[in-house]
Amino acid sequence: MMVSFFDQFASPSYLGVPLIALAIVLPSMCYPTPLSRWVNNRLITIQGWFINRFTNQLLLPLNVGGHKWALLLASLMIFLITMNMVGLLPYTFTPTTQLSLNMGLAVPLWLATVIIGMRNQPTVALGHLLPEGTPILLIPVLIIIETISLFIRPLALGVRLTANLTAGHLLIQLIATAVFVLLPMMPAVAMLTATVLLLLTLLEIAVAMIQAYVFVLLLTLYLQENV
């Protein structure tokens, strides 16, 4: 039974060909593309309004130098939200439950922020490793601690996204299984459990959007330290 619960996180394949690339590309094709007309329809207008509002919110803590990342951060946010939301549909696969994919996104972007800081302002970037006013005896210890915390950042980004989505999917499957088991024996309890399942599904929709936002927001804060 436990193996079947975790089967939903296995990367799907057909005739030995992994389908994770298809699961990543296909949802992006569902977004409407702007038309050549002066006035777009309501769906494209709402989509553009959401992207503009989110981009403005992300750029608030950044100075002018960090505004070059606006397109990348907005695209990453839309990509993560799409993957997380599509994974809540029945008979679908959630690529963002794979730690390898999340680490593949987190490590290069975090490394890019570090490289930018070391290239543009190396003194300030290295100064984050040693707070001002530190006693001389604590300098080696604090440098080691801050260095470890720096290298843990991409791991925390990837693990946080993977763990939250995996836990939510497992909880939904466990409660759904309980509903099917209890329905013939105790219909009233089964209906109550189904209500809890509906509320949990709504919560998971919120978690899917919040986790995508947190992932991009933390990258924005890392970028702010280095630009």
CB 97 within 8 A of CB 162: yes
**What would the pLDDT profile of 137-192 be if each residue is shown by its tens digit?**
878 888 888 889 889 999 999 999 999 998 888 888 889 888 888 888 888 888 99
Question: In the prediction, which pLDDT does 6 show?
Answer: 63
Q: pLDDT category, 8, cuts 50, 70, 90?
A: low
Burial call 52-83: b when 16+ CB within 10 Å, e when fewer? eebeeebbeebeeebeebeeebbebbbbbbbb
pLDDT tops 70 at residue 5: no
**What would the pLDDT profile of 14-41 be if each residue is shown by its tens digit?**
667 677 777 777 777 777 676 676 667 7
Q: Which helix (H) or strand (E) segment is 162 a member of?
A: helix 139-185
**What would the pLDDT profile of 57-98 be if each residue is shown by its tens digit?**
888 877 777 788 888 888 898 889 988 888 888 877 888 888
How confident is the prediction for the chain on average, in pLDDT? 83
Residue 225 dihedral angles phi and psi, to the nearest 5°: -70, -15
**If DSSP codes are grouped into helix, strand and coil, which group holds residue 13?**
strand
**The pTM is what?**
0.83
